[in-house]
Structure 1
Amino acid sequence: MAEPIRIVVTGAAGQIAYSLLYMIARGEVFGIDQPLILHLLDIPPMAGVLEGVVMELNDCALPLLREVIPTTDPNMGFKDVSAAFLVGAMPRKEGMERKDLLSANVKIFKVQGQALDKVAKKDVKVLVVGNPANTNAFVCANYAPSIPRENFSAMTRLDQNRATAQIALKLGVSVSNVSNIIIWGNHSSTQYPDADHGKFFIEETQKSVSRAINDESYLRGAFVETVQKRGASVIAARKMSSAMSAAKAACDHMHDWWNGTAPGQFVSMGVFSDGSYNSPKNVIFSFPVEINNKKWKIVEGLTLNDFAKSKLKLTGEELQEERNEALSVLDASASNL
């Protein structure tokens, strides 16, 4: 077997991590032949819970899991890690505005960025799950200047999975037969779920999703709204935010980043914008990407109609506002030191 690699999960005592850690340790992300050392990072009040999580991981008797290191010290948590799942964040609660999350969370991700910069491997792959994910990833990357910016991403795979599932239900096919559904922009209610470039297989023939559905009012209305508001709908029903589905999406995201995408297929990732598709630069914006040798590349040349362009403009403006507000919070905290 290969040498073990070190993986860190923050917020490791939380509900998303409870599903995520088992999936990682089983080999669903990095491969069934890749031994792992798991670093579990959380805040000091959760240290006791972390010990319980360690017990459960040990009790699972997972062959790939060589060691579990619980810690409340970011420098120990991020030491020599090859991949980081940044799950821990101030949770969104029912009725809470996204802007309410910014003030607390940008400070958390500043500290984590500094620790990554100091002790993580320089080729570490960093996935931000904690919301607001795009802006948290932006902050984290900016405080880890020695790590390439393309090594930081925000999770919009949950939105892609939600959108793909809705399309599969509409078409009456398995989700495994549907591909290339895109999430543009922010992981928020301004995101644009786009099925115009989607494909699906039926009777071994590949077909266009939009042509098969042939219902523009649905694809621009109910479909978009359902995906945009799905997180809020889950909170309203469970009184807690998405956990099982978020953990699955984090695994999907990192699996494809680590192992690559199939030819002709692309996935959605929040990455630093280079201005593609008239998106604002210097924000973390969700694009369709293809991945090879652990490197993502924005899919080029997709045709966007005027409706799509208007949606991309709206979500891009929100990301700029979030970025500027986050920077103002950090500037204010720095001036108070």
Structure 2
Amino acid sequence: MSNDILNVVVTGAAGQIGYSLIFNIVRGEMFGSDQKIRLVLMDIAPMLDGIKGVIMEIEDCCYPLVGEIVVTADPKEAFANADYAILVGGMPRKDGMERADLLKANATIFQVQGKALNDHAKKTCKVLVVANPANTNALIAMVNAPNIPKENFSCLTRLDQNRARAQIALRAKVSVKDVHNIIVWGNHSLTIFPDHRCGYVSLPSGKSTISGAVKDDTWLQNEFVATVQKRGAAVISARKLSSAASAAKAITDHIHDWHLGTPEGEYVSMGVHSDGSYNIPSGIIFSFPVTIKNGVYTIVQGLPIDKNTQEKLDATTAELISEKEVALAL
């Protein structure tokens, strides 16, 4: 592993997700235990004083991987020579706000950030968009950064995959480490489709299909899917706040695997620019199962698509196309 310092940018750094995420990064959970970090924390100007307190905490923890820490509200300064940009900050959905209103509010933010990335980040910079609507926000940033390869833009669907994996582990009464190759397709929204069909569970007796381990196909086809799709709302209902630590963990998992690679035979889910795989049209950011080696992801090919899965893919694709049309018309 290279010990060259990585320039890592986190936007929305003063928020709940940012607070959890920052400590994952500086502990070495994202890039490895010997990778030095120059950390750039970006937020809107009124939030910068709060970030100063976070810096004090980082200093007090004596993390050896931390080099310079920069705090800024200026995208040009934030993205200068960036190796990784994690775009957590965005306009949250408020009561009474339609999805089209949310798209409009975020379009301006991600146009500005996309242009700043294009003009100031390294051309090899890898960008992960977390702020919702994540797929379409990633698309807007990508469109506004033509000097950075499309393959370097992604959105977070790993949280949905982690949620799906956890539900299977709970139902099958096994450890999450024994649940493999659960994937999620499509849009990080209520149309995302958690797919258990190609996954398996490691048991003392050997490998089992998910269906064989769970022993309840009705649950797998109905409650399991709905639970994953509605998990974010369920967290808000119970906690009165949105997912923070679990989102930060998923971001960490996503970048860790993108940077260091996936284990042999393991699939992970990433929202990436469609190359036409599985007949998903190009020009949208879509969650696919991928493997990663040397910092390059490859969409897993040849997975079987049954009638039910195709219907779910069609629905989430239609939603993404609609979002794209609204966003790019602004």
Give the corresponding residue for 1:264.
265
Give the corresponding residue for 1:107.
108
Give the corresponding residue for 2:133.
132
Deviation string 1:281-335 (CA, Å, 9 cap, x unpaired) is 2100000001011000110000011001000000000000001100112xxxxxx
Is 1:61 aligned with 2:62? yes
1:169-318 alignment to 2 at 5 Å? Answer: 169-203=170-204, 205-318=206-319
Shift of 1:93: 4.5
Shift of 1:210: 2.0
Check whether the contact 2:79–2:121 (CA below 8 A) recurs between aligned residues. yes
What amino acid maps onto 2:89 in structure 1? Answer: G
Shift of 1:94: 6.0
Shift of 1:23: 0.3
SS in 2 for 1:39: strand
> What CA distance in whole angstroms lies between the structure 1 residues aligned with 2:301 and 2:211?
20
> What CA distance in whole angstroms lies between the structure 2 residues aligned with 1:112 and 1:238?
31
What amino acid maps onto 1:92 in structure 2? Answer: R
Deviation string 1:21-80 (CA, Å, 9 cap, x unpaired) is 000011001111111110000111112112222222222211100111000111111111
- Structure 1 length normalisation: TM-score? 0.95
What's the Cα RMSD here?
1.3
> What CA distance in whole angstroms lies between the structure 1 residues aligned with 2:324 and 2:225?
24
> What CA distance in whole angstroms lies between the structure 2 residues aligned with 1:33 and 1:173?
32
Deviation string 1:185-227 (CA, Å, 9 cap, x unpaired) is 0000001000011111111622211233243221110000000
| CA pair 166-97 structure 1, distance change in 2 beyond 3 A | farther
Percent sequence identity is 55
Query: Gapped runs of 5+ residues in structure 1?
Result: 330-337
> What CA distance in whole angstroms lies between the structure 1 residues aligned with 2:120 and 2:74?
12
What amino acid maps onto 2:203 in structure 1? Answer: I
Query: Gapped runs of 5+ residues in structure 2?
Result: none
Check whether the contact 2:110–2:137 (CA below 8 A) recurs between aligned residues. yes
SS in 2 for 1:6: strand
> What CA distance in whole angstroms lies between the structure 1 residues aligned with 2:101 and 2:210?
37
> What CA distance in whole angstroms lies between the structure 2 residues aligned with 1:100 and 1:167?
35
Give the corresponding residue for 1:48.
49
Give the corresponding residue for 1:80.
81
Deviation string 1:150-192 (CA, Å, 9 cap, x unpaired) is 0000000000000000000011000011110010000000010
- Structure 2 length normalisation: TM-score? 0.97
SS in 1 for 2:329: helix
| CA pair 94-197 structure 1, distance change in 2 beyond 3 A | farther
> What CA distance in whole angstroms lies between the structure 1 residues aligned with 2:96 and 2:315?
22
> What CA distance in whole angstroms lies between the structure 1 residues aligned with 2:97 and 2:4?
44
Check whether the contact 1:5–1:37 (CA below 8 A) recurs between aligned residues. yes
| CA pair 193-273 structure 1, distance change in 2 beyond 3 A | same
Give the corresponding residue for 1:162.
163
> What CA distance in whole angstroms lies between the structure 1 residues aligned with 2:153 and 2:281?
17
| CA pair 58-185 structure 1, distance change in 2 beyond 3 A | same
What amino acid maps onto 2:146 in structure 1? Answer: P
Check whether the contact 2:39–2:69 (CA below 8 A) recurs between aligned residues. yes
Shift of 1:4: 1.3
What amino acid maps onto 1:64 in structure 2? Answer: L
> What CA distance in whole angstroms lies between the structure 1 residues aligned with 2:217 and 2:201?
18
